[in-house]
Structure 1
Amino acid sequence: MAVKSQSPLVITVIVGLLALGVGLVIGYLLRPFKEPPAPHTSADQLWGIEAADDDKIAALDMLKDCSHLARENAVISKHLLENDVEACRAVTCDIPYPRTYVIYKLRGNDVIDLDGRLEDKAWKDVAWSDSFIDIQGREFPEPRLKTKVKMRYDYRFLYIGALLEEPDVWSNVTLHDGPVYQDNSFQILFDSRQSNVNYKEITINARGIVADLMMTKPYVDSGEPLQFWESDLVSEVYVHGSLNNPNSEDEYWTIEMAVPFSTLYQGSGASMNRSTPIHDETWRANFLRAQWSVKKRGTHYEKEKNSGTDWWGLIQFQDAEINSTHFMTSEKWVATNALLDTYSALQAFHAVTGRYTDRKELLHLPPYVFSGKCVDDISIKLDWSGFHVTVKPKGGNLEDGHIKADHFLWFGKEDMQYF
């Protein structure tokens, strides 16, 4: 049976649709122009959150009106910035490191001749530390007299070189383990395990007299100085000028010392039972300069008052070509800081209330500690010692970190060993 062609009908439909489409486009382009509605600028939309109640709306409206005025005040602006930074760290977990120094191992024919002058090639090949800052903080003026250090190591010794600018070099203490800190002196503290316990303290004056001891824990935590501990170090001091002579113009004094690792590792626990550092091993270190103001009284000096400079940070041992590497950061850094910040918050709470608490909401903690982005969990248990804080590092690949009321900090199994 023959079928009648429908081509004319199809063409007619297509042409009609095209005409309709063109009409719609022309109509859209020729539509009357209207001003867009003004956006609603209530506080909840302006600040990107949904206001839960009238108080929140009022508070946000106040912030909108006065924030620019607050930022014009230098003191208030600094406070706002500090809070903004803390809030950002709760998200980024970017906890700043203190000053760091990489200690390079002696290689090949490198030799250090202990004469106090720091003129060996092994010293000249490595950089000085940054100059010491005031012990009160970076916001205080730089000390008038520069102090800086260098360090090297081999399989037996940690070598330390220091330069102290000084126009009047003097020293009175002459007995080993005497009150060397009462002279202008240079002090070193090493915590090889970063545990805040059993750290070593070495002080030396311009005569080369040494006082060395082991602290069971920091003085602020009622630590006991174990003065029977001996560093067995070898040292020499060089004075560019003259010692105890008010009539001479001095420039500086320098120190060279070699401290055996065998004594520095004492009391560091079974996990640090070794005689030399491994590559990338990191210690906490503190370097201080005790500086007394003096007046010249004829042929002797008379002390006036005390001041000081301080350099606190991390040192890291690296068996590598000099200046070929940089300080290696640690996966434990955020968890370590969370432990220390919680410890400080608990001690501050105790100072006000006379007791500790296991309720985190009562503590003044930085936001990163409880944001859930930087550490997985933090718990506080009260016990006979005061408290025991446990932090679960983010990711689950690291051992839990712990700190107690006596400031003892560790990761994994508790491991205490004095000798």
Structure 2
Amino acid sequence: MILSDLLDYETLRLIWWVLLGVLLIGFAATDGFDLGVGILLPFVGKDDVERRIVLNTIGPVWEGNQVWLILGGGAIFAAWPPLYAVSFSGFYLAMFVILFALILRPVGFNYRSKKQSQSWRNGWDIALFIGGFVPALIFGVAVGNVLQGVPFHFNDDLQIFYDGTFLGLLNPFALLCGLLSVAMLAMHGAAWIALKTEGDVAARARRLGGWAALLTAALYCLAGVISWLWLSGYRITSAIVTDGPSNPLRKTVELDAGAWFANYASHPVLLIAPVLGILGALAVFVTLRSGRELAPLLFGKLSIFGIISSVGVSMFPFILPSSNDLRSSLTVWDSSSSHMTLFIMLVVTVIFLPIVLAYTGWVYKVLSGKVKKAMIEDESNHTY
């Protein structure tokens, strides 16, 4: 018996479904507050020094945080090839817009303070705002479209055809999810600014973060109500083969008005995910208003965990439903890489992920402490 036989195909698929969620949540919980800081930059910083203070709260860590996005994309490519093929080709224009917005961030960080001109710096502040707002919005829009089903299909040779348009992605429910994403990450960014700054900047971050937290809870509840009343989910009606070949056309699927809530009815313990999403956001509001520093950041991460995991729990075993050809919908059981590929990737992940986490924790410990006005005004410090 070889080592890979210790984990069967079904178990490996489940593990990689969980790991995909971990990577997406890891990105939202780390680089998410970087995006949130960009969203709030024009509003919490009223002059050049204050905006430099805000930028330097994330200056040492944002590049490392963005690695989670690369890890997520790499995991999709290696573990879920059909998912990668459909999403990265069908959402090509949306991905291009995200990439353009993300490119504005490193350029903005490095060029903003190269000139003393206030108009020059204001222009880069707008670019940094776009670099935070646009990815946050489009990531949420993407999730909203996934919940509704994406217009693609396979032919009998498993060739992929995407039948949608970029503007078709900007439907009302998807935009609602996009606004929820913006509010959620703004809430998280405000908690980070409140932790890392003091004085007027921190006070503005607490006020804006409190409103963002309430908006997060309200939009999340509204999206849930709309999903319950008007959004049809997907349900497999044929026999489910959990260890078969990755061929999505070997099943039959139907639309069901309550399908996205069926897992909660079958396993009530899963309700902890949406509960954490709501209560975490409300706890951020309370702790920001009470002047706590670390607690809002931790509760923000808890809310992010609950909101994102509730999407995965609701849709399981679906990963990417098809609105054009129901049986083409991708699930955990029919869209993964081979058994050996998943096993080798798991071994690599078990070795290197703890190293990444340990190094990240060490970096945050070394860089702990507040960014103060005197540090920014001291020209001997290499600050943004």
- TM class by shorter chain equals under 0.3
TM-score (norm 2): 0.24
- Larger radius of gyration between Structure 1 and Structure 2: 1
Q: Which has the higher strand share?
A: 1
Q: Which has the higher helix share?
A: 2
Higher RCO, 1 or 2 (CA under 8 Å, sep at least 6)?
2
